[in-house]
A and B are shown apart, each in its own frame.
Chain A
Amino acid sequence: MSEFLQHLINMLVLGGTYALLGIGLTLIFGIMNVVNFTHGVLYTFGAYIMFIVVQQLGLNFFLALPVAVLAGWLLGAAIELTLLRPLRGSDIDTTMLVMIGAWIAMQSGTLWIWGGVAKSVATPFPEAPLVLGPVSVSWLRLFVLAAAAMLILVTYLLINKTSLGRAMRATFQDHDTASLMGVNVDMIYTSTFAIGSSLAAAAGALLGPVYVIFPQMGDLAAVKAFAIVILGGLGNITGAVIGGFILALAEELGAGYVSSGYRDAMGFLIIIAVLIFRPTGLFARAERVG
């Protein structure tokens, strides 16, 4: 029983960051319809910003987090302005190829700047874990869960309760009508991509100190983010959050009770199952086609 409780606690902590990765990608992949291969690199980028600010500049850990989010926002905006804007209206394959190129170039860039050897970031949290009866959890991971929950809430409110969010939803439902209604469509494209990117950077900044930081760390994260988005239904924020927790649960229980060798295969098994039984995702709204 205590093992099961421990798995549940691990699932909560892991799920929070998966959800953060998922909502960032669902904004870009689901709502904007861009197959964003740079999502994992933005995740890596956020982690390296933490490394620069905390380890190299010696500044405060909590200050580094908003810096990483802002840096992710700026890099995302730059990608949208330089790569995606000229390609708007071109077919999905062209965009996909350009994004694959951007992914490879940026990953090689991180390798070139920081080298392949993993870096770690010191945190202000105590080493001794919080012990609750039979289960224990590190303070750092609790903080990560709380920060992820806050970011998810902010994103949810931004999309559903603000005029920017309304303009975003309008733009991606019907680009021309939104434009006729006075929405600055160009600005909406850039900010949506930037927000999605900043969430990926935030996830990397939060998880970098938990694990270690290296140039390829984003690859597996990106694959998981795609799994979460497909699981939750394209463009569905609530779906992405729940999808993140389902993936974490499947990995924890899969590793704990089935076979630890297949832990990272769980995400793919889920994608296959979802595509067979509910191709639009678990939480997709009924959608008009065509």
Chain B
Amino acid sequence: MTRALGLVPAIALATALFGGAAAAQTIKIGVNEPLTGAFAASGTYVVNGAKIAADEINAKGGILGKKIELVIEDNKSNPTEAAAVAEKLITSDKVPVLMGAWGSSLTLAVMPKLMEYETPMVVETSSSGKITTTGNPFIFRISPPSAIEAAAFKNIVDKLALKKVDFLVINNDWGRGTAEDFSKMMKDKGITIGLVETMDQGAQDMSAQLSKIKSSDSETVIVTTAVDQLTLIFKQAAALGLKKRIITTGGSQNPDQIIAQAGAAANGTMHLTTFLPWFPDKTPNPEATNYFIAEWKKRGFDFAGCTESFRGYDGIRTVAAAIEKAGKAEPAAIKAALWNINIKGLNGDIVFRKSGPEGKESGQSQPNVYLIEINEGKIEMKTL
């Protein structure tokens, strides 16, 4: 009996050793996304997109002769957790590179950890300008900052005959940054800025803000938040009889989900997005887009999530390309290699340009931005 019991730790040791050996055969990539909390829907879509990229790469034999392994952690839509999770991924899982962290406030919270541990991160969704302008050389962003969105939107404001605009934005770096960048662009165009209302990221009842906006004399409302809060806003705006033109920004709207959940209330609304899954042929890389959408559907995911999940797909392909170019899975080499990649993303070529203070620039690629309109429950593309 004693002898049999003695075997147990020996087996455990052997398993641990073997397990350790097996782990060394893969290249780990840390994924820091909100899987619970206010941004759970969006973060989950991004992770599912990332898995498609990882499976595609591994099916072709991986990189540097090894399979890639995503180490996925939930940052709970909470900046404190996002920083803690980044630290865990770097120190305990020993990942040489990260992708994350969806929200601007989440990414900003992770950034000091990247400096501390000198580990690069590909930012796939966040749009606050601050991320690439504060001098963090470990940041490589593939999503458009709100200033790029505002600049793209600039060309259409005359056609829409905007006169006075209210804002309803999520009360964090993303929302406030968007209100700032769009206000600046619109003031230059001679448009009056009315109310700037905010809402907590977890808030479920925006009736008070919407009642206030309903009584103002503006004709358009710019709304910035993620899909869950957006559908509530559309329903609540309809219940209050708010008849203004609604334009959303940020690319996390999942327009199909808005149509499904808000019904008629979604008609006539416009959305700035960063991907066109409805018109694959109009995307910069139709072949890859078609492959991605087919794979997404094959896995049984909701089509509405495509506008979000493509970021995870592009993000992991960006990371993989850099590891390949670096020739080894080490943070400093990957960071250097990120400056030299040129891959075809689903939303344009991913090539990093320098952004921020000299000597410690962050990388920023120049993705496309599109404006779509929901018309009788159908999505139409507007020319910007």
Contact = CB atoms under 8 A, between A and B. Distances in A.
Answer yes or no: do A and B interact: yes
Interface of A: 2-3, 6-7, 10, 14, 111, 115-118, 120, 127-129, 131, 136-138, 141, 211-212, 214-217, 220, 251-252, 254-256, 259-261, 263-264
Contacts of A115: 40, 44
Contacts of A120: 231, 261
Interface string B203-231: 11101110110110000000000001001
Contacts, number: 95
B190 to A, nearest CB: 27
A136 B240 contact: yes
Interface of B: 35-37, 40-41, 44, 74, 171, 197-200, 202-205, 207-209, 211-212, 214-215, 228, 231-232, 235, 238-241, 261, 263-265
A261 B171 contact: yes
A264 B35 CA distance: 24
B238 A118 contact: no
Contacts of A211: 204-205, 232
B203 A264 contact: yes
Contacts of A217: 204
Contact of A127 (B41, B197, B264): B264
Given A3-B215, A129-B239, A137-B240, 10 more contacts: A7-B208, A10-B211, A116-B36, A116-B37, A116-B44, A215-B36, A260-B209, A261-B171, A263-B208, A264-B200
Nearest to A140: B239
A212 B39 CA distance: 13
Nearest to B204: A211
Given A6-B214, A120-B261, A131 B241 contact: yes
Contacts of B238: 127-129, 138
A138 B241 CA distance: 9
A251 B232 contact: no
Contact of A136 (B204, B228, B239, B263): B239
10 contacts: A6-B214, A14-B207, A116-B37, A211-B204, A212-B232, A216-B37, A256-B211, A260-B197, A261-B171, A261-B198
A2 B204 CA distance: 23
B109 to A, nearest CB: 19
A217 B212 CA distance: 25
A261 B199 CA distance: 6
B240 A6 contact: yes
B48 to A, nearest CB: 11
Given A117-B41, A216-B37, A252 B232 contact: no
A255 B231 contact: no
B207 A10 contact: yes
